[in-house]
Amino acid sequence: MKIFQVINVRWFNATAWYAITLSRLLADAGHEVVVLTQADTQSEKVAREMGLTTVAVDLNTTNPVRFVGAAKHIIQLLRTHRPDIVNCHRGEGFFLWGALKLFGFGYRLVRTRGDQRPPRSDAINRWLHADVADAVVVTNRRMADYFLHKMRTPGHGLWLIHGGVDTAKFHFDPEGRERVRKEFGFGPDDLVVGLLGRFDRVKGHKELIEAVAALQKRGRDNLKLFLIGFDTAMTASEIETHIRENGIEDITRISGRRDDVGACISALDIGVVASLWSEAIARSALEIMAADRPLVSTDVGVMPDLTAPSMLVAPEDARGLADTIAKLADNAPLREEVLAAQKRTMSQLTLEEFLKRTLNLYQSLIQGS
């Protein structure tokens, strides 16, 4: 197949990760993939580093002259490549792709919604998604419900395709675990609780810090906190301020930027997703679960699709996080039950399954044309 993946995402966030990972899988499977990006962005850089063919098109512009230029550029690309599938991973420019499809370009149009913010449910947007797009892909059940009931997208045109995780890269690494724990001063009897994610308010570092401080006050002397991440929207110094305010400087470590993320995850005893909202794809959760670490999470975004119900708490609920971490730490049969449930979930969330489900969609659209 000839496929355009439209990834006009400035940052290498979960949406870009999902789209670029899918593009790499499709290219490796022998399909002709062109990735349309915004020029000079992290997403473009990562796509190129993965060996993908990229073309920069400014679909995010609000300047009418530049938009006309972008439209002309796209028409040239369509005439040159004649794609079978165009998959838009962002809303900017989606109307243009819909219009060009209606003007006679013969591709099948897919809109992948890897963002937890729901689209506007107005008449034009409902028409675009229900009648112009050939399929809408969502990455979690909550967004699927929104499209079915608010956007009135036909059930046959709505596909739930979770992302996949590279199990060759993310798996339990016993040697890496011992090395990282020694590096950061975690003893063999320490209970290391950790959060994997960029430093951003949305990720809930503050709430997890408060939860760990509360558990320490309850007498858990072997507890340690490991924050696997580095400066982005927040800095390490801002995170450290929360740590000092809660009096847990002596039991907390921050990884900084690492090349051995899999080993850092393996160093944990309990992984936490403390996000306040978002998590439409939850890349970090997939990586923690792939490393066979039991996961406690807030019930945002895709997390109820992935996480054992007994391990879910409300966002911003530091006490709930503390209680659930304690319950998991104290109950060996519960840990085994959680890990077994995670293994069943992860068996359906490999990169192979990700590619298979996407190809099933694309082939069904082409065969139905």
Q: Give yes or no: residues 90 and 71 share one domain.
A: yes
Q: Give yes or no: residues 328 and 360 share one domain.
A: no
In a domain, 22, yes or no: yes
In a domain, 168, yes or no: no
Q: What is the DSSP letter of 156?
A: G
- The amino acid sitting at 173 is D
User: Would you state the pLDDT for residue 235?
Assistant: 87
Could you report the per-residue pLDDT of 163-204, keeping only the tens digit for each?
999 999 999 999 999 999 999 999 999 999 999 998 999 999
Among 89-93, 243-247, 324-328, the least confident range: 89-93
Is residue 10 over pLDDT 90? no
Q: Give yes or no: residues 233 and 89 share one domain.
A: no
In a domain, 328, yes or no: yes
Q: Give yes or no: residues 320 and 278 share one domain.
A: yes
Q: Give yes or no: residues 17 and 119 share one domain.
A: yes
CA dihedral sign of residues 170, 172, 174, 177 = positive
User: Would you state the pLDDT for residue 192?
Assistant: 98
Query: Where does the pLDDT of residue 207 fall: very low under 50, low under 70, confident under 90, or very high at 90 and above?
Result: very high
Domain count within the chain = 2
Average pLDDT over every residue of 82-88 = 98
In a domain, 259, yes or no: yes
Q: What is the DSSP letter of 118?
A: P
Assign residue 304 the CATH number of its domain.
3.40.50.2000
Q: Give yes or no: residues 224 and 320 share one domain.
A: yes
User: What's the domain range around 43?
Assistant: 2-163+350-367
Measured distance between the N- and C-terminal CA atoms of the chain, rounded to whole angstroms: 14
Query: Where does the pLDDT of residue 74 fall: very low under 50, low under 70, confident under 90, or very high at 90 and above?
Result: very high
In a domain, 169, yes or no: no
CA distance readout (Å), 57 to 21, 41, 111, 285: 20, 12, 18, 32
User: Would you state the pLDDT for residue 330?
Assistant: 95
Q: Tell me how far apart the alpha carbons of residues 10 and 16 are, in angstroms, rounded to a whole number.
A: 8
Q: Which residues contact 363 (CB under 8 A, 6 or more apart)?
A: 1
Encoded tokens for 134: 């050939």
Is residue 149 over pLDDT 80? yes
Q: Give yes or no: residues 241 and 336 share one domain.
A: yes
Could you report the per-residue pLDDT of 255-281, keeping only the tens digit for each?
999 999 999 999 999 999 999 998 989
**Strand, helix or coil at 318?**
helix
CA distance readout (Å), 101 to 76, 82, 289: 14, 12, 40
Query: Where does the pLDDT of residue 132 fall: very low under 50, low under 70, confident under 90, or very high at 90 and above?
Result: very high
Q: Give yes or no: residues 327 and 358 share one domain.
A: no
Q: Tell me how far apart the alpha carbons of residues 161 and 364 are, in angstroms, rounded to a whole number.
A: 15
- In the block, tokens 């907390």 appear at 252
Q: Give yes or no: residues 155 and 243 share one domain.
A: no
Is residue 368 over pLDDT 80? no
In a domain, 239, yes or no: yes
Q: Give yes or no: residues 280 and 294 share one domain.
A: yes
Q: Give yes or no: residues 73 and 198 share one domain.
A: no
CA distance readout (Å), 82 to 77, 143, 269, 320, 363: 8, 31, 50, 53, 16
Q: Give yes or no: residues 269 and 140 share one domain.
A: no
User: Would you state the pLDDT for residue 369?
Assistant: 61
Q: Tell me how far apart the alpha carbons of residues 120 and 296 are, in angstroms, rounded to a whole number.
A: 32
Is residue 343 over pLDDT 90? yes
Q: 89 with 110: CB under 8 angstroms?
A: no
User: Would you state the pLDDT for residue 234?
Assistant: 85
Q: 186 with 264: CB under 8 angstroms?
A: no
What does the DSSP assignment read for 248-292?
-GGGEEE--S-S-HHHHHHT-SEEEE--SS--SS-HHHHHHHHTT
Encoded tokens for 98: 């819909």
Q: Tell me how far apart the alpha carbons of residues 47 and 64 are, in angstroms, rounded to a whole number.
A: 28
**Strand, helix or coil at 231?**
strand
Report the mean per-residue pLDDT for the chain. Answer: 95
In a domain, 232, yes or no: yes
In a domain, 309, yes or no: yes
CA dihedral sign of residues 198, 200, 202, 208 = positive
User: Would you state the pLDDT for residue 231?
Assistant: 84
Among 97-101, 112-116, 181-185, 232-236, the least confident range: 232-236
Whole-structure pTM over 0.85, yes or no? yes
